[in-house]
Structure 1
Amino acid sequence: MLPMHQSKLFTRTRWRLSAWYAAIIGALLSLSGLAFYEMLAQAHWHALHLELESLSGTLHDGLEPILMRPGQLEPEVKQLLPELCLANEDCLKQTEPLARHILGKAQRHGYYVRFLDPSGHIIATVGWQPKGLPFQTQAQDWQTLKDDRGQRYHQISLLLKTKSNTAWGYMQVGRSLSAYDDYLAMTRLVLLIGLPAALVLTSGASWWLAGLAMRPIYQSYQKIQQFTADAAHELRTPLAATQATIESVLEAETLSESEARKTLCAVERQNNRLTQLVQDLLLLSRMDRQEIMPKQQPCCLKTLVYDVVDEFEGLAIASELQLSLEIQVQQSLFVWGDEEQLYRLVANLVTNAIQYTPKGGTVALLLHQSDHHAVIQVKDTGIGIPAPEHSQIFERFYRVDSNRARITGGSGLGLAIAMAIAHAHQGTIQVQSQLGQGSTFTVKLPVTAGNP
């Protein structure tokens, strides 16, 4: 059978699965990155907004009690804001942040305060003043402006009142958004680089995961193909023999009663072989689908192995073999399950041993107990099984010696049926064999807690 990467059907399917995996995960990563970016931007913007609001509120509450006349700053304001710069003064040296006692945690480069009279003319400034920033009217509380270099600023405009509650003018408190914009630009850069890299890794992982997911499917597909080919081959042999028999009879001008009977016997043998093969295939199929569950009743293994030896003793004698039974336990061993299926399990192993043991050899059936398991062993001095084939002999239609199996009428399903029955009874089958020295099949079945 071809490996999976050489199968066009599975390669195309793997590409499609990988593309779907990559597309879905890529979409999720992109949406997650976009959501992360938006949440990060909103969180920083909200923190910046609150900071400006808190600073402007502190200044507003500290200034209003000392303002007496509209549009004029009292000397006490200079004491509150030592870096206050009037509109007619040279404030080139005042490029540092606001006073430490006013801004507190907000003492950073980029903050500024501007005072405007009711008509919107600048009266004084405090702190670092951006160049080319337009003096907007007080129509909006919050504004985002740009200076002549395109740098953005965020500011709030508040109405100031005098001590007598008359309109004094406006105070604008703002800060530069360069740090905020740089942070978002770096975040976008990381996302723009990280997302494609993640998509590349995701595509590789998708290809690997698709292959991993399809591997058992491909193995099942191979088994189905092999099973179909083997079943067709097994069915073809008796059908061809039957067809040849019928054609030879049809070609004869006359047919005596003995010849007719002989022909019918040949057709009957081939029909029986077909019937047995179909029954075995149906049994395996139903056991695979768990349509046949073992009957939960106590089965005495001592009685079972005695019956198997009695039934096959004649076959062993006809094959010029010695069939023996050795029971190594005194008490009766009981297992829960279907006695008919368990009988077939042991019978298949004994039949297999007889078929593959040359004349003059021996076949031994042993029964003993190990821990909480009943152990049934079938030993023969047959042709043996090569070590590389030990894991394959329980596959359907597999034969160690196909020519001999065809002569003896074997279909290659006996060991597969035995394995299925053992698994259905929570048991196991193991094989030990050397080529030319015989084989030992060991069946372990869990015994009941006590005799029924």
Structure 2
Amino acid sequence: MAWVIASNLSKSNIRLSPQFQRLRWQLLGAFLAVMMAINFVSNFLVYQFFSHILYQQLDQKLKLLANSAAHSLEIIEENNNTDIRHDRYLDEDGDLDLSWQGLQQPNQTIEWFDGSQKLLGASGKKINFQINNFTPGFITLPESPPIRVLIITIYEQENPQSKHIEGYVRVTESTESITILLSQLSWGFAIGFFITLGLISVGGMWLTRQSLKPLAKSYEQLKQFTGDASHELRSPLTAIKTSVEVLQTHPERIHPQDIEKINSIVSATNQMSCLIDDLLFLARTDNDLDLLPQQTAVIPLEELLEDIVTFGEIKAEKKKIKLQLHCLTKPLVNGNIFQLQRLFTNLIDNAIKYTETGGDINISLKTSEEWAIVTVQDTGIGIKKEYIPFVFDRFWRVEKSRSSQISGTGLGLAIAQSIVQHHQGQILVESELGKGSCFIVLLPVVLD
């Protein structure tokens, strides 16, 4: 049977279920976050690299220009004129015959100072700024745009050992061209970022869907197998149960030593029947087969809870547990009455199981603007804080060593959560070890 199911599923187009769709979007979000972080870091590093290269090239140009202009300090001192473009320095072709002239750019300024930092002359574009410190080296002035400045010291050439300062050369250049280039680079990165985001999103959606297909296929096979196996197991269990019941109707035919064995068979059969019913229910709700529109109706929640509590009192009395219902309002909800009965029966039965003799269980009903709120609070053994996220997992049970003597399949809360989700509601749990647990169910109310 299983291989037939697998064959049929493999031939069909696997459609991702809602939980896999959520997983797909989570994976896509994580993938996009990682890829965008990598893209941002790489763009930042490239930007810093190009910025460093551009400013390094600028510094090399300023240094070369300053060293070339340093040889003209003597000429400037002889003329003591701020305009160095003088006819006595023109060559035969009418061009300036100075070593730095071919290196200077239109957006650069060269200034010569004597040893007392008095301005002797200047050449190039006039840039308005003020520097009182003549410390040799590179500095950047925070103008708009920033200005890169290089100051070099010129020592007396006739007696280099004396370290006598003959003057200074200050070379400046506006970084406007670099700023514009880096701005263009930033805009390019920004445009590329959004293009990359779009391409990664499309590729990520395809990759996540393809990667989840095998998992979704296996999950569908498992659900189908669970449903079919549960259904098929009903027949032999029914035959066993019927046969045992027939034996019990004729106790004279049973040897006294076999009575205990017969009772064990009955208990095991009933437990297996409950497990199969729970598995079949979960398989059907996983496939959205158990909440057809014609099965829903407007239900008075107060009356539903009263009926469930009435039946629950029989179990509670056996453990001398005080079971109380407090209805503060009478809301109407839209849902499947059989599923809602199972939901609250599971919660109350669960509270009775884990509440010790003489304890209390309080069920309350109230409403907010949009929700009917049902709380089931007990004084049972409670749940450790680190275990709370797992209470709705299938086959998970609180403190297995402590609950080994408590019967159950570990599917009650999983079924409760499935029913609540199918009714577009929420189920929450609050618990403290040794003080009890409180399950809170929120269901949408029918508005008048």
For normalisation by structure 1, the TM-score amounts to: 0.44
Q: Which has the larger radius of gyration?
A: 1
Normalising by structure 2, report the TM-score. Answer: 0.45
